[in-house]
Structure 1
Amino acid sequence: MIVGIGVDLVEVARLGEALERTPGLRGRLFTEGERGLPLVSLAARFAAKEAVAKALGAPAGLRHLDAEVVREPSGRPVLRITGKAAEVAGALGVRTWHLSLSHDGGMAVAYVIAES
């Protein structure tokens, strides 16, 4: 059963400007494993983090670091949920996450489905 869905769209250049303007932002938004990725990949991951929050109903206390996009050996992106996001997901009965990422034309999008 679907517990929640979330989608988010990010303008790649706008994220890049924010990261340049505020150097500490990269560490607050992205895990150590994500930080070195190209800007377009960071934008898609930021969209995924926002989509996770939406799928969970945007509860107070979520941190961007609570959701990490990692790749399976096949290259498929998957979510690793920790912290407050994992706590809320557990309370909602979320057992499976579905993630789709895309980027084109200066935009990045993520779609997330939380399933029990």
Structure 2
Amino acid sequence: MIAGYFLGLGCDLCEVERLRGVWERQGERFLGYTFTEGERAYCLRMRDPAPFLAARFAAKEAVAKAFGTGIGAELGWKSIEVIHDEHGAPRVKLDAQGEVLLAARGAVGVLLTLSHTETTAMAVAALVRGF
């Protein structure tokens, strides 16, 4: 492995029922604040959207941890969008502020993997110097 390839690493777990509870209590306010339009459209077309929303929530947390910032002033919830490549693999799309932060860290991209069961979603993200 090339020394310094990984510039930051983040991991997060999200309990599906906990996310479902927040969604049931706050409804569209929660979805609109936390997820991009594309993420909402993708998840809400699933038979049970909660595990897919939980995976994206975990992804946003994992990416923010990889940046070393957490979610806040430098990187907001919708600064990080989970999209899919042509093979269906998850990818990270950053907004303009996220791209500036990525460049400031000396990174060229973010690697992401997601998984979920009926009860738990997880994500691992890594800021990388090159692919």
Does 2:57 correspond to 1:53?
no
Partner of 1:66: 79
TM (norm. structure 1) is: 0.93
SS of equivalent residue, structure 2 residue 40: coil
> What are the residue-to-residue correspondences of 1:1-116 with 2, within 5 Å?
1-23=5-27, 24-36=29-41, 37=43, 38-58=49-69, 60-61=72-73, 62-116=75-129
Q: In structure 1, how many angstroms separate the alpha carbons of the residues matched to 2:39 and 2:109? A: 22
Contact 1:11 1:106 in 2 (8 A): yes
Q: What secondary structure is seen at the aligned counterpart in 2 of 1:34?
A: helix
Q: In the alignment, is the contact (CA less than 8 A) between 2:54 and 2:121 conserved in 1?
A: yes
Structure 1 residue 58: Cα displacement: 1.3
Native 8 Å contact 2:51 2:118 kept in 1:
no
C-alpha displacement of 1:46: 0.6
Q: Does the aligned pair in 2 maintain the 1:66–1:86 contact within 8 Å?
A: no
- Give the number of aligned pairs: 116
- Name the Cα RMSD after superposition: 1.2
Shift of 1:100: 0.6
Give the aligned residue type for 2:8.
G
Task: Give the Å deviation of 1:109.
Answer: 0.1
Contact 1:63 1:84 in 2 (8 A): no
Q: Give 1:86 shift.
A: 2.1
Q: Structure 2: 5+ residue runs without aligned partners?
A: 44-48
- 2:16–2:118 CA contact under 8 A, matched in 1: no
